[in-house]
Structure 1
């Protein structure tokens, strides 16, 4: 299924596995690349040495293209860009809009730049700065999210920019891929759907929580780090929602200390990242430290299997998923279903006045 995305990146299918923190490691990315889709390695929770190891691990297992997701506002973003260039990574994916300078460095080195955005104006900005494609996520998507649904946001972005657009938020099968292509997108990206595959490193007990979820079991809260975050309802989310300012501050300090130990970051760097994550607003020390809540609360569930002390980022499609295919099965089924819908009998519409 050839599209501008497959031509640009060199993959066989217009599907993207998003860079989910603690989830999108070498095993999942390798399986995605081998299946012919674009796998994105999540790097925000990795140290620089661990990121280099992870990149080399994927490269040792497949020669297919893959990408690495970066925090554009991270203090060491420039060092991570250097690493991608040195290691010959095909795609640099960004969770926030990267600077013009970072885009320029990557493009000069032959690395494709695909930022993720949640608004038309952000897509226009990165396109103007030279981004090769843009991934646009509607409010249905898991993790940090906006307020505009994919069905409204995606066609707006497609009309606004002249680079390939990848739709995300609410997709989990071939019907979603076909819909994204019909909106004018060059492909579809999925997070929760790839999380719920056999190659995903998420503990089985946590996967079971996702599979049992209904659409109404997915909610949005600002109590993790102050930003809207879509996740599964749980006792932990309820506790976060009801906690007061002192409890939130103590939790933020504890998680910040744990995140510092995990990543090797300094306190000063974490505070700068916390401020950058919130777009430079005038914030208290506690509010900036809250930025460390997200990775550590996610790690508790996604790595340690502790759903009682962690949170589970989830797109609304979690309520529609009830199986755990291999990545190869998922990609093949999505592409076959989309192709059948776009070219098969189900796609044929009788014109007005034509005998049935």
Structure 2
């Protein structure tokens, strides 16, 4: 399926696997790329050396284009951009709007820049700064999310910018892809659907928790870091919401110490990163620390399988997913479903 987005990044199908921390590693990214979609490597949880090694591992597994996702507000964002450029990565995606300077540096090196946004004004800003495309996530999406549904936000952004728009939040099949195209998008991005594949390295027991979830089991909470965060409702999430500030601060310090050991960040750097994620919110100190080490909470579930000690970021689509196909099987199925949906629409036209 040929769209402005597939032409921009050089892929066969207008589908993106998002850069999920601790989930979007070399195996999942390369499997997605081999399936003809755009795999995006999550770098926020990787020290610089590990990021370079991960990029090279993906390259050893596939010749297809892929991307790297990074946090624009990270203190070492510039160093990560230089790795992307040095290693010849095709796409740089951002969880937040990157600076005008970072966009210019990447574009000068021939890297396609694709920020993720949750509001029309943010899309307009990055488009004016030179972004090549934008991923727009509606409130149905997993992780940090907004309040506006994809069906309302997507057409607003499509009408506001002249660059390819990729729709995220609530997509998992071919019907959704066709619906996004009808709104004017040039593709769809999916996180939870790719997490729930056989190529994902998430522990099987954790995948089983996702598969067992209903739509009502997916909630939005501010208890993790003070910002709206969509995830599965678990006993741990309940405990965070019920914790007093003293207990929450103690928990945050323990987890921050663990993430500091893994990431190599200093305490001042972690505090700076936490404060950078406040976005004008009035966060407690425990929430500032949790904002800096939310990756540790994700790691507990997504790597260690400890759903009792971690969070399970999730889109609402977890409630309608019931299988674990390979990335190739998933992408092929989505494209087949999309073709069938398009044929059905053609039949409606022909019947007039």
Structure 2 counterpart SS, 1:250: helix
Output aligned runs, 1:292-307, within 5 Å.
292-307=292-307
Question: In the alignment, which residue of structure 1 is the partner of 2:133?
Answer: 133
Q: For the structure 1 residues 283 and 233, does the alpha-carbon distance in structure 2 shift closer, same or farther, using more than 3 Å as the test?
A: closer
Question: In the alignment, which residue of structure 2 is the partner of 1:345?
Answer: 344
Question: In the alignment, which residue of structure 2 is the partner of 1:19?
Answer: 19
The TM-score, its normalising length taken from structure 2, stands at 0.98
Question: In the alignment, which residue of structure 2 is the partner of 1:61?
Answer: 61
C-alpha distance in 2, partners of 1:346/1:71?
40
C-alpha distance in 2, partners of 1:210/1:203?
11
Question: In the alignment, which residue of structure 1 is the partner of 2:314?
Answer: 314
Check conservation: 2:157, 2:165, Cα contact below 8 A: yes
- Superposed CA deviations along residues 209-255 of structure 1, whole A, max 9, x for unmatched, are 00011000100000011111001111111111111111111111111
The TM-score, its normalising length taken from structure 1, stands at 0.97
Tell me the CA shift for residue 286 of structure 1: 3.4
Aligned residue pairs total 352
Q: For the structure 1 residues 282 and 307, does the alpha-carbon distance in structure 2 shift closer, same or farther, using more than 3 Å as the test?
A: closer
Tell me the CA shift for residue 278 of structure 1: 1.2
C-alpha distance in 1, partners of 2:191/2:102?
25
Query: Post-superposition, which runs of at least 4 consecutive aligned residues in structure 1 deviate over 3 A?
Result: 280-287
C-alpha distance in 1, partners of 2:126/2:347?
38
Tell me the CA shift for residue 205 of structure 1: 0.3
C-alpha distance in 2, partners of 1:48/1:293?
17
Tell me the CA shift for residue 281 of structure 1: 5.4
C-alpha distance in 2, partners of 1:293/1:112?
29
Question: In the alignment, which residue of structure 1 is the partner of 2:232?
Answer: 232
Question: In the alignment, which residue of structure 1 is the partner of 2:245?
Answer: 245
Structure 1: 5+ residue stretches without partners: none
C-alpha distance in 2, partners of 1:345/1:281?
47
C-alpha distance in 1, partners of 2:157/2:345?
28
C-alpha distance in 1, partners of 2:318/2:77?
32
Structure 2: 5+ residue stretches without partners: none
Output aligned runs, 1:186-265, within 5 Å.
186-265=186-265
Tell me the CA shift for residue 287 of structure 1: 3.5
Check conservation: 1:224, 1:293, Cα contact below 8 A: no
Check conservation: 1:255, 1:292, Cα contact below 8 A: no
Check conservation: 1:6, 1:14, Cα contact below 8 A: yes
